[in-house]
Amino acid sequence: MSGAPREAACQHVAARIVEKTQENARTVMLALDAALECIPGQFAMLWLPGVDEKPFSIAGADPLSFAISRVGPFSERVHALEPGDRIWIRGPFGAGFSAAPGRALLVGGGYGAAPLAFLARALLACGGKVDAALGARGVGDLLFVKRFRDLGAAVHVATEDGSAGMRGRVTDVVRPLLRAGGIDRLHACGPEAMLDALASLCTETGTPAELSYEAYMRCGVGICGSCEHNERLVCRDGPVFTIPTGHASGS
């Protein structure tokens, strides 16, 4: 099962960067002079001619925004861009998260928090309550703690080195929250091991969940097969999937 279906056709946008904000040690938020009709959890392909084209979660629709972590050659080049520079966008693609009233727990591991503040705004706009559980190796890798607090979400933090919040993995703060009851849905984005652990916890506690997975992507539209994972195409059938026993999506 995949998450909420796409709502808009693919657009090609030549955009300029209007704002660049350092979010943590290795992540910048870029706001562009463009808007895209999309829902949280969908992604777009960012293209720098002569460099490469890579997938990134949409972190905001208007202005169109992306949170880019520096992990390799492409993200290094994106980090070198400044306000006024151009970047090319192809999207939106994929199935996103569904937004419904109730109490939602949003779980982000590292830069996996990128689409979740966008989702939090959508959930709050439809009358929902939001808890955010954010995990990272250390305080320098935590993303969007202040953004979630500014939105009014209850924020729970875990770091593996204990430099902020609880020492441990984000699943260590999620487990008691789910077992205590009162969480209607869980939405998560982050490393596969974190998502697999959350899937087990949600199955154990009967919590509906939508999980956003990553994969190597080339075309982004279900043609090349490079993003195949467990017989699904992550770009087309995901990246947001409901866990097998979940009932969170509209599909």
Residues in touch with ligand FES (CB under 6 A): 217-220, 222-227, 233, 235
Site for ligand FAD in 170-199 (CB under 6 A): none
Span interacting with ligand FAD, options 61-69, 80-88, 145-153, 177-185, rule CB under 6 A = 61-69
Give the footprint of ligand FAD on residues 109-128 (CB under 6 A): 111, 114
| β pairing state of 209-212 and 86-93 | unpaired
Q: Which stretch binds ligand FAD (CB under 6 A): 7-15, 65-73, 81-89, 130-138?
A: 65-73
Q: Does 62 bind ligand FAD (CB under 6 A)?
A: no
Tokens describing residue 52:
């490469």
Alpha-carbon distance of 224 to 211, in angstroms, equals 23
Q: Can you tell me which of 71, 80, 126, 223 binds ligand FAD, judged by CB under 6 A?
A: 71
Taking the C-alpha atoms of residue 13 and residue 89, their distance in angstroms, rounded to an integer, is 5
Greatest Cα-to-Cα distance within the chain, rounded to the nearest angstrom = 52
The partner in contact with residue 218, picked from ligand FES, ligand FAD, none with C-beta cut-offs of 5 to 8 angstroms by kind, is ligand FES
* Binding flag, residue 134, ligand FAD (CB under 6 A): no
Residue 225 interacts with ligand FAD (CB under 6 A): yes or no: no
Half-sphere exposure of 196 (CA within 13 A, CB side): 4
Please list the helix, strand and coil fractions of the chain in percent, rounded to the nearest 5, in that order.
Answer: 25, 35, 40
Element (DSSP H or E) covering residue 150: helix 145-151
Omega prior to 101 cis, within 30 of 0: no
Measured from the CB atom, is 2 or 207 closer to ligand FAD?
2
217/233 with CB nearer ligand FAD: 217
81 binds ligand FAD (CB under 6 A): no
From the CB of 181, what's the least distance to ligand FAD, in Å? 31
Pairing state between β 232-233 and 228-229: antiparallel
